Every structure is written in structure tokens, then in C-alpha cells.
A and B are shown apart, each in its own frame.
Chain A
Amino acid sequence: MGGVTEPSESTDAELLAAVSAGDSGALRSLYVRHAPWVFVRLTRRCNDADVVSDVLQDTFVAVWRGASGYRGDGEVAGWLWGIAIRRLVSRLRRTAGSAEVPMAEVAAGLEPSVEERLLAGVEYGGVPAALATLSPQMRAVVQAIVLDGLTTREAARLLGVREGTVKTRLHRAKAHLRTELVRGQA
């Protein structure tokens, strides 16, 4: 990013603390560090460039206003993505004419589940291969719930299907992955 302050040596958590104290320079550093990958990851979930830009903006404005909501445990990157994906869901919901996801919900949905911890290792072993054998619809559900950490309701919003459908597909996807992983190890 041309002519921009080089992100300093401070950790993300330190920058967040500075942001909650009203330092917009710290927000800029966080933006330089994180906006590119958040932007790409959002683009992979929504192909409307205007929506992605709006969501990216909303995310960092939310960080500015809610930096004190970061509880200091876990990666700042994961926390940021939790905000971004929920902003995307609420943005898609707004175009459908409903209300926004409150910040409290954002903080709530970030506990890693067993599946998430299992799949957090997707870069190793047979998990990527197993993932590739899923149907596109089941993969989208796994991506929304396991990788992006959304609730079934949020995933349903994002994917434009009913909550029940999300639950069924997730259930089938888990069963399928388990079989594939066992076969991979054998």
C-alpha cells in the first residue's frame, strides 16, 4: 500500500489496545496487516465487489468502535474474521430487509468446536483431500460453519437456504468426512 506507515513491531493485541484508546494510527496499522487477506477471503464468499468493500469498511469501523470487546484470548486475525463474516451475513440480511447482527453475538460465536479443532489442521494429512470429495453444497455448509465459525442460522442466511437444510447437510458432510478420513488412514 503506497506511502503507508510500515506496520510497527507491536503485536496485533497491542495495536487493538491502542485502537480502543482512540489511536487511529493503530487502526491504520491493523488495516495494512489484515485488510488484504480479509478482502480476499470475503471475495471468495461474495462475488459482489461493492458488497465486499462495504463489509470490509464496516468491519474496521466495528473494530474502531468495539476494540475493547477483544478479550485477549486467541488470534486477533480470527477475531477479525469473526466480525467480517458476520458483517457479510448481516449485510446480505439487510438487503433481504431484516435487522443487523449485534456485536454481542459476534463475540459469542467464536468458541472453537471439536470439529473446528479437527479441521483446523486441514493443511495436513488427508483432510483437504476428504474435503474435496464433498459435494459443492455440503462443502459450502462445512466452510460456513466449521471454517468460518457461523451458527446454523447465520450460515442459512449466507447460503440462502433454510436452517433445517444447513443442519442436514452438515450432518451428512460430517459423516462423509469421517468415512473418508478413516479410509485415508487405512
Chain B
Amino acid sequence: MSGTESPRGWHADEESLRAWADGRAGPALGASVEQHLLRCVDCRAAVGTHVATPTLDHTWDRVLEQIEVPRVGLLERTLLRLGVGPRDSLLVAAAPSARLSWLTGVAAVLLFAAVSAAVAEDGGVALFLMVAPIVPVGAVATAYGRTADPSYEVVLAAPYSTLRLVLLRTAAVLVPSVPLAVLVGLLLPGPSLLSVAWLLPAAALVATVLTVSAWVDPVLAGTAAVAAWVVAVAVATQTGDPLSVIDAAALVSYTAALVVGCVVLLGRLKRTPSGWPLG
């Protein structure tokens, strides 16, 4: 400690220190004491005996309060800034699919699909068509539920509508993953319709998963939906044109499924008293 090694013969005497601590010291003495204290451990310790401890203890308690508050994550802070309530922000940020690792995974999968599509033309288009809708469905399925969510039990016991939670988290995971998938779609060769047309089946699948999740675990519902979609694309590819899964007739049926899903969800939402879990 450099303080002890440079007392340079001069120490603030007891009376000077007391006068300074009590605010009685004049400017010259005050300046001397203050300069000396910067370098002298002993005199600094001596000041402690002249200061009222309750004030310092109280301030220390407030320091502790501040440093023990858990750090708020980036996602949560962004949501708070966007005007989402603190309770909703915390619940959304706690979803497994709201983590960065998940988003990285999504990017990697899409990139793989895009590269394959660019290299293998027709087969690649089928691959992208197969993979892209899985992204939002997977996000939604892992946003809530016994299997995927470590905070599931806590959430279930809380006086908070589970449906509201599911919808909130759905919105939160769709916002980053859908633009990512659209971007990759735009980079692909082939009909430009392809880059956005898959959004409709994806939306229909998401609506179906959300509706069915009232009775089965969302991961199970999601897996089933993904499997059905993969089979459909595979069959279409085998029979000739993978793009037949997004032809006019197919798009109409997706729209129908989407509408039915939304109606059922809205009906449930209306019957749910706000601030209470689903019965």
C-alpha cells in the first residue's frame, strides 16, 4: 500500500482530523487533510471513528440492494423498452426458444437449406420448402409446455392466463425467426413466389399446434405437425413437383385451417378470465 510507505513524516493529528470530519476545518487545513488522506491508510482509518455509523450503514444497505438485483437480459430490456409490461417481458424471455442459442440453430439450419438449394436446384427447392415452415412451428412448440419449458411448473401455478403466455411467446419467437427464413428464401433460385408462399402453410401449422396444445403437450403437437408437413412435401416431390404443396388449391386449404385455428383460439381467449390460468 503506497499510503503506508509515504507518510513523509507528516500525519494529520487527531484534532485536525476531527475538525475536518466535523466540518470545522478552514480551507487550508481542509485541503491539507484531504491531500494527505489520499495517501495515508492510518489517517483514513482514523476518520472512520469521527463519522456517524448509522448514515454509512444505511447507505451500504442501499448499495447492497442495487448490486444484488439480478441483471436483466438483453431481450427482456428490449421488450421493456418497447412498452411490454415487466411481468410479460420476464415470461417471454424465460421461453427456451427465446434464447440466442436457439436463434443460432435456426440460422444454421436455414443456411444449410439455402446452400443445398443453390447447389442442387430442384431437390434443393423441395428441401427449403420442407425446412422453412418447420422453423416457426418448432419455435412455437418449444415456447411453452411441460417438456420444453423449465419454468413450466412455476408458470402453471401462477395466476396468469396460460393461453396469454403461449400467444405472447409465439409472437416473440415468430418475430425473429420468420424474417430470417424469408431472407433466406429470397436468396434462393427458382420462383420468387416460393420465398413467401411457404408462410401460409407455416401459419396454418402454427395455428393448428396452438389450438391442439389445449389438450396435448405442445412439443408433441409440434412434432406431429412437422411430421405431417415433411411427409406432404416428400410425397409431392416423389409424384413430380414439390411446388404442388403450395399450389392454389393447397393454399386455400391452408387458409381455411388458419381461419379455423384463429376462431378457436379467439373463442378460448374470450372465455378465459384475464389473469387466471385456463381451467
- Assess the B59–A37 pair: CB atoms within 8 A: no
A175 contacts partner chain B, Cβ-Cβ < 8 Å: no
Residues 16-70 (chain B) with a chain A CB within 8 angstroms: 20-21, 23, 26-39, 41, 44-45, 47-48, 50-51, 53, 55-60, 62-64, 66-68
Chain A residues lying within 8 Å of B57, measured Cβ to Cβ, are 1-2
A152 contacts partner chain B, Cβ-Cβ < 8 Å: no
B63: shortest Cβ distance to chain A, in Å?
5
Residue of B nearest to A65 (CB): B67
Chain B residues lying within 8 Å of A64, measured Cβ to Cβ, are 63, 66-67
- Assess the B67–A27 pair: CB atoms within 8 A: yes
B26: shortest Cβ distance to chain A, in Å?
7
Chain B residues lying within 8 Å of A57, measured Cβ to Cβ, are 59, 62-63, 66
Chain A residues lying within 8 Å of B20, measured Cβ to Cβ, are 40, 44
Please judge, given known A-B contacts A24-B67, A143-B27, whether A1 and B56 are in contact too, CB under 8 Å.
yes
- Assess the A2–B53 pair: CB atoms within 8 A: yes
- Assess the B3–A56 pair: CB atoms within 8 A: no
Chain A residues lying within 8 Å of B47, measured Cβ to Cβ, are 36-37, 40
Against A, the Cβ 8 Å flags (1 = close, 0 = not) of B94-132 are: 000000000000000000000000000000000000000
Residue of B nearest to A1 (CB): B53
* Assembly CA distance A139 to B30 (angstroms): 12
Interface of B is mostly: helix
Interface size, chain B (Cβ < 8 Å)? 42
B233: shortest Cβ distance to chain A, in Å?
50
Chain A residues lying within 8 Å of B215, measured Cβ to Cβ, are none
Residues 32-64 (chain A) with a chain B CB within 8 angstroms: 32-37, 39-41, 43-44, 49, 53, 56-57, 60-61, 64
Please judge, given known A-B contacts A11-B1, A53-B55, whether A147 and B27 are in contact too, CB under 8 Å.
no
Query: Which of A39, A53, A122, A132 is the one whose CB lies under 8 Å from B35?
Result: A122
Please judge, given known A-B contacts A28-B60, A78-B38, A147-B31, whether A33 and B67 are in contact too, CB under 8 Å.
no
Residue of B nearest to A10 (CB): B1
* Assembly CA distance A1 to B61 (angstroms): 13
Enumerate chain A interface residues (CB-CB to B < 8 A).
1-2, 11-12, 24, 27-28, 31-37, 39-41, 43-44, 49, 53, 56-57, 60-61, 64-65, 75, 77-78, 81, 119-124, 128-129, 131-132, 134, 136, 139, 143, 147
